[in-house]
A and B are shown apart, each in its own frame.
Chain A
Amino acid sequence: MAKELKLMKGNEAIARAMIASGTDGYFGYPITPQSEVMETLMAEKPWETTGMVVLQAESELASINMVYGGAATGKKVATSSSSPGISLMCEGLTYLAGAEIPCVVMNAMRGGPGLGTIQPAQSDYFQSTKGGGHGDYQLYVMAPASVQEMYDFVFDAWDIAFKYRNPVLILTDGAIGQCMEKCYTRDYVPRWTDEERKEKAPWGTWGKPANRERNIITSLELESSRQEVFNQKLQKKYAQMKEEDVRYEMLNCEDADYVFVAYGTSSRICMKSMQIAREKGLKVGLLRPITLYPFPTKQVAELAKRVKGMLCVEMSAGQMVEDVKLASNCQIPIEHYGRFGGIIPTPEEVLEAMEQKIIK
């Protein structure tokens, strides 16, 4: 398929981008609000065109472990789910991170805790950026705010996943997943040939040539001194992410007195609140973290030196606000405004919160 302009859902964009970006396999289990990912893949039948494998596993546990197995061979393997399903996958994710296996996972967040609701939420920020599974590991976490970004970020995610040999999480929610916007699709990137894969993933378990020892994929190391050295290596990798691959967008921040900090769906709502505020003569800007890990810490710190206050808007009880406070060293007033349990705030109520909590 060539470049095309289409109207599509965010979930559909993820699926189409997987096919177009040369993904080798997708293993998933249906859950609202992201079931269209696998539905689109099944309808498109990529196994007949690019040769991509699409399989509905028996559970999320099976999905993530199929990802582990497939990706260990150096293939580009992905999955997607929503909050309760991602919780089930967390064991697999820490193993993948511990074994340094690149993969792409999408979470369309819904309101929790537990099975919660099927409506949009952003209450998995902690789970996504602070762990989820056990151990000192990090996922590279990207937060798209439009259907176009849902599409584009799958391509970017593969670059990052293989650059760092690390799982990449595309963290979104039901609103971006279910809405339709226009989307420019790209020319297909062919799936890697076996030769290319051997070159790009020399660590993979794709067979032992005579000229090297066998590759072993494991997250087990019983010798603590070696485990510590390995963990230091992971930390170095995360430091490099912070140095080289932080992404963010700033809108109207040049002259801003007050700034919204928000990602994904919330950032779209804040854009509208910002427009209303500007019409009222209030100098309000927006900082949108695109990567949640690594977090745009320097940018928040720099903004905190020249604005009077920040309002962190999240569809949660307040999670990212902690990173904003840490980054700014609490030099200025920083407050949180959130709705949760599947409720999406309106632009008007967000602006009102900014006026009451920050501008006063």
Chain B
Amino acid sequence: MTEEIIIAGFGGQGVLSMGKILAYSGVMEDKEVLWMPSYGPEQRGGTANVTVIVSDERISSPIISKFDTAIVLNQQSLDKFESSVKPGGLLIYDPNGITHEPTRKDINIYKIPATEKAQEMGISKVFNMVVLGGFLKLKPIVGSEFIHKGLEKSLPERHHNLIPQNEQAIELGKGLIEPVQVL
């Protein structure tokens, strides 16, 4: 199993930390992982993206142009990464602020109204975990017990009291994701 993922959105949406929690969960399950952020000027322009690879084998390139899954959290990221999903791959987006829907016919597309739901429930801070939950529902590449350990490892100890809230958000996301186009 090798899963190559790009997660992209605005800075502040928790894109990098979502990737980190997923990667750390992979480490806890003794898988090979890679977390490669964009850094530098493009990051300072307000968009953030991170490549996460989780695999049973030694990971080759940290730089890849085709992904099994793209998780996009704003229009810019959708425009940029829709074409980078491998044929038959998976595109997940949050419809919040999306004005042009994805158009590819050869990939699976799901949407998750995470921004809206998280705002409604007053849990905007764990919005990214809602999205992660949606992804894990479709591709359970790491077991939930390892997600728990991943949260423990990625969050500083003073925030460990927030782990249950994060896990609830993940569960919420699992119920929230809905198909747009399934091959």
Q: What residues make up the interface of A, taking CB atoms closer than 8 Å to B?
A: 5-7, 32-33, 117-119, 174-176, 178-182, 265, 268-269, 271-275, 344-348
- Stretch of B28-36, B92-100, B107-115, B167-175 lying at the A interface: B28-36
Residues on the A chain within 8 Å of B62, using CB: 175-176, 179, 265, 268
Q: Is the Cβ of B60 less than 8 Å from the Cβ of A275? A: yes
Residues on the A chain within 8 Å of B40, using CB: 32-33, 117-119
- Stretch of B19-27, B120-128, B140-148 lying at the A interface: B19-27
Task: From known contacts A178-B37, A180-B35, infer whether A7 and B64 are also in contact, taking CB-CB under 8 Å.
Answer: no
Q: Is the Cβ of A181 less than 8 Å from the Cβ of B59? A: yes
Pick from B36, B64, B153: contact of A179, CB under 8 Å: B36
Name 16 A/B residue pairs within 8 A (Cβ), A-sorted. Answer: A7-B23, A7-B33, A7-B35, A32-B40, A118-B39, A175-B62, A178-B37, A181-B59, A268-B61, A272-B64, A273-B61, A275-B60, A345-B63, A347-B60, A347-B61, A348-B66
Taking the closest CB of chain A, its distance from the CB of B107, in whole angstroms, is 18
Q: Which of A118, A180, A346 has the most CB of B within 10 A?
A: A180
Taking the closest CB of chain A, its distance from the CB of B149, in whole angstroms, is 11
Residues on the B chain within 8 Å of A273, using CB: 61
Pick from B23, B39, B65, B66: contact of A178, CB under 8 Å: B39
Pick from A175, A180, A345: contact of B20, CB under 8 Å: A180
Q: Is the Cβ of A179 less than 8 Å from the Cβ of B60? A: no
Residue of A whose beta carbon sits closest to that of B39: A178
Residues on the B chain within 8 Å of A5, using CB: 27
Taking the closest CB of chain B, its distance from the CB of A261, in whole angstroms, is 16
CA distance A118 to B37 in the complex (A): 14
Given A7-B20, A181-B34, A348-B66, list of 6 further CB < 8 A pairs?
Answer: A118-B40, A175-B62, A180-B34, A265-B63, A272-B64, A275-B60
Q: What residues make up the interface of B, taking CB atoms closer than 8 Å to A?
A: 20, 23-24, 27, 32-37, 39-41, 59-66, 153-154
Taking the closest CB of chain A, its distance from the CB of B26, in whole angstroms, is 8
Residues on the B chain within 8 Å of A265, using CB: 62-63
Q: Is the Cβ of B36 less than 8 Å from the Cβ of A269? A: no
Pick from B33, B63, B64, B65: contact of A181, CB under 8 Å: B33
CA distance A275 to B4 in the complex (A): 15
Q: Which of B23, B33, B39, B153 has the most CB of A within 10 A?
A: B39
CA distance A182 to B34 in the complex (A): 8
Residue of B whose beta carbon sits closest to that of A346: B65
Residues on the B chain within 8 Å of A117, using CB: 40
Taking the closest CB of chain A, its distance from the CB of B23, in whole angstroms, is 6
CA distance A272 to B53 in the complex (A): 13
CA distance A348 to B61 in the complex (A): 11
CA distance A119 to B41 in the complex (A): 9
Residues on the B chain within 8 Å of A346, using CB: 61, 63-65
CA distance A7 to B40 in the complex (A): 21
Residue of A whose beta carbon sits closest to that of B4: A272
Q: Is the Cβ of B23 less than 8 Å from the Cβ of A180? A: yes
Taking the closest CB of chain B, its distance from the CB of A30, in whole angstroms, is 15
